Amino acid sequence: MRKLLNTLFITTSNVYLTLKGETVVVSQEEDVLGRIPLHNLEAICTFGYAGASPMLMHACAEKNVSLTFLNAHGKFLARVIGESKGNVVLRKTQYRISDSEIASAKIARNFIFAKVANQKWILERATRDNPLRIDVPAFKQVSERLLEDLKKILACEDLELLRGLEGQAASAYFGLFDQMILQQKEAFYFKTRNRRPPTDNINALLSFIYTLLAKDVSAALETVGLDAYVGFLHRDRPGRASLALDVMEELRGVIADRFVLKVINKKMLDEKDFIRKEDGAVLLTDEGRKKFLQAWQERKQETLTHPFLKEKINWGLVPHAQAMLLARHLRGDLEEYPPFLWK
């Protein structure tokens, strides 16, 4: 499995990135803030207006380093994409399957299966780890319910029904989400999922981490030659990376939600790291974002044994492993797509 290199996050808005030789130079007006050899980087991610020289973009495209521009709130703006990699035959297979609701449903089913299986396992882990702080019977009940959903999902070959099953499972899971927040309860609570804009601290973190994960998944898909914009569960919508959202389904809970819970429960962020706008929108402060990204980077370096490949990899490589497995399925090496099932 390939090595996980680092992501360079630029969170200050008036920073300019250039390339000198093989080194990325980070500068603010006249001052050089740092130099990082390009070959140590897998991705560069900038927030707010941060410029990058065309020469750096060129080198990133050539060396397959993902260079992403997000706005100050972490919303995706643009990405530098190099020459289309991979085979046109692979992408045509992807498009053909995407055009067929029946064929799409067979792959979508596995994304959703894993999403719900992972949510179920998150709930079970919570009952095991904190039996005295959560309503165990309620967790057990939802877990059993999710098991019934899983059986239905495995037998389901209809996209609309799959979406329905997924929605029900998600609302049952999110109904217990607040109980898994064990620390700083006054500042961090969860009633329901809201976004655009998020109106509480937890939703602000969830929205942010989903953006980061979507960016990683998109890059992983492009790396293996798939088109991140053509999905199976998510249908085409201009400008939406539908396939990235598909693959993300199985990773949301296990990677993103758990990470947000950990950051709060370990008190890595607190109330002071957020600001509330006049309209109720909640934003992370610059300082809060830095801490969050730092923790995210560290999280990605931790290892696990991939459940299907049985190989030790970094958490940060899970999107790559899934992208490769999806490509291998579309190429016909695997009769079905093996989703990421955490245990």
Partner 1 sequence: MGINEEDYLMLSGIQHFRFCARQWALIHVEQQWEENVRTIEGQYVHQKVDQPFIREKRLDKLIVRAMPVKSHELRTTGICDVVEFIQDPAGISLINEVGKFRVVPVEYKRGKPKKEEEDIMQLVAQAMCLEEMLACEVPVGYFFYDEIKRREEIQITEAHKEEVRQLFKQMHHYFTRQHTPKVKMGKHCKSCSLENLCMPILNEKQDVKSYMRRYLV
In angstroms, what is the minimal distance from the CB of 291 to partner 1? 32
Of 322, 267, 319, residue with least CA distance to 295 = 267
In angstroms, what is the minimal distance from the CB of 247 to partner 1? 15
Would you give the distance in Å from CA 139 to the centre of its chain?
25
Decide: is 96 part of the binding site for partner 1 (CB under 8 A).
Answer: no
318-331 vs 201-223: helix crossing angle, rounded to 10: 50
- Considering the complex, state which of residue 170 and residue 181 has its C-beta at the smaller distance from partner 1: 170
**Residue 293, number of CB atoms within 10 A of its CB:** 19
- Which residues, 6 or more positions from 113, have their beta carbon under 8 angstroms from its beta carbon? 150, 153, 154, 339
- Considering the complex, state which of residue 99 and residue 311 has its C-beta at the smaller distance from partner 1: 311
**245 to 37, 126, 137, 176, 242: CA distances (angstroms):** 31, 26, 32, 23, 5
Decide: is 87 part of the binding site for partner 1 (CB under 8 A).
Answer: yes
CA angle 297, 123, 117 (to 5 degrees): 80
Handedness of CA 240, 249, 270, 197 (dihedral sign): positive
- Among 123, 156, 224, 264, indicate the residue that binds partner 1 (CB under 8 A): 224
Of 209, 183, 176, residue with least CA distance to 266 = 183
- Among 151, 262, 266, 276, indicate the residue that binds partner 1 (CB under 8 A): 151
Q: Compose the 160-179 pattern: x for residues touching partner 1 by CB under 8 A, - for all others.
A: --------------------
**For residue 257, what is the DSSP state?**
I
Decide: is 20 part of the binding site for partner 1 (CB under 8 A).
Answer: no
Decide: is 28 part of the binding site for partner 1 (CB under 8 A).
Answer: no
In angstroms, what is the minimal distance from the CB of 331 to partner 1? 6
Decide: is 343 part of the binding site for partner 1 (CB under 8 A).
Answer: yes
In angstroms, what is the minimal distance from the CB of 296 to partner 1? 24
Instruction: Return the structure tokens found at 104.
Output: 């799409």
The residue range among 18-26, 83-91, 181-189, 278-286 that interacts with partner 1, by the rule CB under 8 A, is 83-91
In angstroms, what is the minimal distance from the CB of 338 to partner 1? 5
What is 94-118 written as a DSSP string?
HHHHHH-HHHHHHHHHHHHHHHHHH
Q: Compose the 99-118 pattern: x for residues touching partner 1 by CB under 8 A, - for all others.
A: -----------x--x---x-
**For residue 15, what is the DSSP state?**
E
- Among 2, 96, 277, 312, indicate the residue that binds partner 1 (CB under 8 A): 2
Query: What is the C-alpha to C-alpha distance for residues 118 and 122, in angstroms, rounded to an integer?
Result: 6
Query: What is the C-alpha to C-alpha distance for residues 107 and 157, in angstroms, rounded to an integer?
Result: 9
Q: Compose the 184-223 pattern: x for residues touching partner 1 by CB under 8 A, - for all others.
A: ----------------------------------------
Of residues 39-58, those binding partner 1 (CB under 8 A): none
In angstroms, what is the minimal distance from the CB of 126 to partner 1? 17
Using DSSP, state whether 183 is helix, strand or coil: coil
Decide: is 154 part of the binding site for partner 1 (CB under 8 A).
Answer: yes
Of 51, 48, 88, 96, residue with least CA distance to 71 = 48
Decide: is 334 part of the binding site for partner 1 (CB under 8 A).
Answer: yes
Decide: is 129 part of the binding site for partner 1 (CB under 8 A).
Answer: no
Query: What is the C-alpha to C-alpha distance for residues 128 and 208, in angstroms, rounded to an integer?
Result: 28
- Among 48, 82, 86, 197, indicate the residue that binds partner 1 (CB under 8 A): 86
In angstroms, what is the minimal distance from the CB of 271 to partner 1? 38
Stated length of the chain? 343
- Among 147, 164, 189, 271, indicate the residue that binds partner 1 (CB under 8 A): 147
Using DSSP, state whether 41 is helix, strand or coil: strand
Residues engaged in binding partner 1 (CB under 8 A)? 1-2, 85-87, 89-90, 110, 113, 117, 147, 150-151, 154, 224-225, 307-311, 324-325, 328, 331-339, 341, 343
